[in-house]
Amino acid sequence: MARIAIIGAHGKVALRLERLLADRGDHVSGIIRNPDHAADVSAAGATPIVADIEPLDVDALARLLSGQDAVVWSAGAGGGDPARTLAVDREAAIRSMQAAEQAGVERYVMVSYFGSPDRDVPSSNPFHTYAEAKADADEHLASTTLRWTILGPSKLTDAPAVGAIDTNASAGTEVSRDDVAAVVAAALADDGTIGRTIRFNTGATPIAEALRG
């Protein structure tokens, strides 16, 4: 049984992930900002922890993560406000990595997006700030001593799970949130994913096999 903290635990992928992890016997702590979301997190099999990560410093985040075996970053500012996007998707994410190192949590899985960290989104594109924030966070994670994995799903859908992905595509298409959650769960259990950035679409290769490369 692993002790896994999910930051951004009320997200659509995170709630699916909590069910998968709880069903396989892991102890999941779901970190959420809004206390109104606690019931949903509990129903998914996780223990809700109400904490707004945006204003917390590294020491406070380290206390929050103490005792965990792994951290999954599945949070996001949601777009629309560039300043908050940078505050959450870059600054808070990087502090959480520093906190994981400080707390002795060795494993860290980042849920990113297919294009990171290429930095090829033009400044005129409304997606630019988010893309830059994710690139900064992903590059920082890759420079840490953590046993990290960066997962880059393409466009998310609510289609039924396929249970198979394509990790060799040069361009993003789409993938279901159910399959993204399954990929995160599989990556946590597969040390062969450590130190890798894995981009993926829906595909024809079973998830565990696809992650082996």
152 Cβ neighbours under 8 A, 6+ residues apart: 112, 113, 114, 115, 116, 197, 198, 199, 200
d(CA 124, CA 105): 38
Residue from 86, 17, 99 nearest 51 by CA: 99
CA angle 149, 113, 181 (to 5 degrees): 65
Is 130 marked active-site?
yes
Could you tell me the two tokens for 108?
């860290």
d(CA 38, CA 33): 9
Catalytic residue among 73, 108, 114, 130: 130
Catalytic machinery residues: 130
